[in-house]
Amino acid sequence: MTDCAGIATCPFFNDRMQNMPFIADMMKKHYCRDDFEHCARYMVKQRLGKDRVPGDLFPNQSTKAERLISAGEIV
């Protein structure tokens, strides 16, 4: 298991997002502490940059991340 490099500053990991899901702790364990490469926020950050990660994007929204990445790379 490997921690995501963004843990120190990530709004999701640090409970700074609105409407945090009740399974947030499980998501942190799954994504932030292990499978971060499949986290939607991580995916967008890696491909488009930190400033392009939506404030309301949760780790399990990979389909939305893929749409954002596709649109972002065309623009």
Residues found near ligand SF4 in the complex (CB under 6 A): 4, 6-7, 10, 12-13, 31-32, 36, 39, 41-42, 59
Give me the sign of the Cα torsion angle 36, 42, 11, 24.
Answer: negative
Give ∠ CA 18-21-22 in degrees, rounded to 5.
130
Q: Which of 7, 26, 15, 12 is nearest to 58 (CA)?
A: 12
- For ligand SF4, which is the closer residue by CB, 10 or 68? 10
Distance in Å, CB of 30 to ligand SF4, minimum:
9
Min dist CB 12 to ligand SF4, Å, is 4
Task: Name which of 42 and 68 has its Cβ closer to ligand SF4.
Answer: 42
- For the record, the structure tokens of 6 come out as 């963004």
